[in-house]
Amino acid sequence: MPATRVWGGFVLALTAAVVAGCSSSGDDTAPTPTPMGRAFVSTEVEGRPIPGGGPMNLSFAEDRVSANSGCNTATGPVNLEGHVLTVDQLAATLMGCPDERGAADEWQDGLLRSRPSWTLDGDTLTLSGNDSTVTLLDRKVAHPDKPLVGTNWIVTAVITNDAEVRSQTLEEVRPTLLIGSDGAVSGTAGCNRIMGSAEVIGTDATFQIGTTKMMCDPQVMEVEQQVLTTLSGKTTGTIDSDTLTLRNTENGTGLKLRAE
């Protein structure tokens, strides 16, 4: 009888160890890679091409997607379950775009609403749908972070307290900003040239600038005033790949700029 008890205890212990081992193996299963929290830029399109050449930029954050393929930017909730990209309501900017880029929004909307399949292999995201297969590369790999100093930045949007605004006028006048290694500031505000200096700490900058005194169309002067309001005093900056976001710490206005 004592021997039987020992054998039975051994069997129970062995069974428990096997079950524990199976449970441990299941816990070690790696999560499925997801594009959420990352941004990508297209490097190749098979099938129906992007009108105007693109590229397509996709950003995923907080269960939302933001897309731009050369004209307007569309944003909205996104579901990635089952390796299918599903969007419901997309809100888009309403800027008119010249030449073939005017059809980029229709191409982009058609792809996103077609419930395209997606795969992620390391830094490469592939979308397939609506007669197109788009290969995209992680934006930080394709375009590493640019330095604040020494890069020629072009303003692509102005930021108010509750919106990010793009316009045809802004795209036409292309305000620019360049901070030299000695802190000298140059560029254009839309109508007038800017000059002055900036004290730079990391990606934060405190500006002291002046401008020439020309007058332009009212729409251009409005853009210029928005640019100068942001560049008046202390700003905080963030750089993501080739995109710089500057925010004035006193008045809350901001600029989004792209490296040239």
- For the stretch 104-150, pLDDT in tens is 999 999 999 999 999 999 999 999 999 999 999 999 999 899 999 99
Of the candidates 124, 128, 153, 148, which has an alpha carbon nearest to the alpha carbon of residue 136?
124
Using pLDDT thresholds of 50, 70 and 90, give the confidence band for residue 3: very low
Q: Looking at domain 153-259, which of 3.40.50.300, 2.140.10.10, 2.40.128.270, 3.40.50.920 is its CATH number?
A: 2.40.128.270
In sequence order, the β-bridge partners of residue 168 are none
Q: Give Cβ neighbours of residue 145 (< 8 Å, ≥ 6 apart).
A: 239, 240, 241
Phi, psi of 116 (to 5 degrees): -70, 150
How do residues 237-256 score in pLDDT, each as one tens digit? 999 889 999 999 999 999 99
Q: Structural domain boundaries of the chain?
A: 39-142, 153-259
**pLDDT above 60: residue 184:** yes
- In CATH terms, are 39-142 and 153-259 the same topology? yes
Using pLDDT thresholds of 50, 70 and 90, give the confidence band for residue 4: very low
Amino acid, single-letter form, for residue 24:
S
> What CATH architecture applies to the domain 39-142?
Beta Barrel (2.40)
- Looking at residue 34, what is its pLDDT? 95
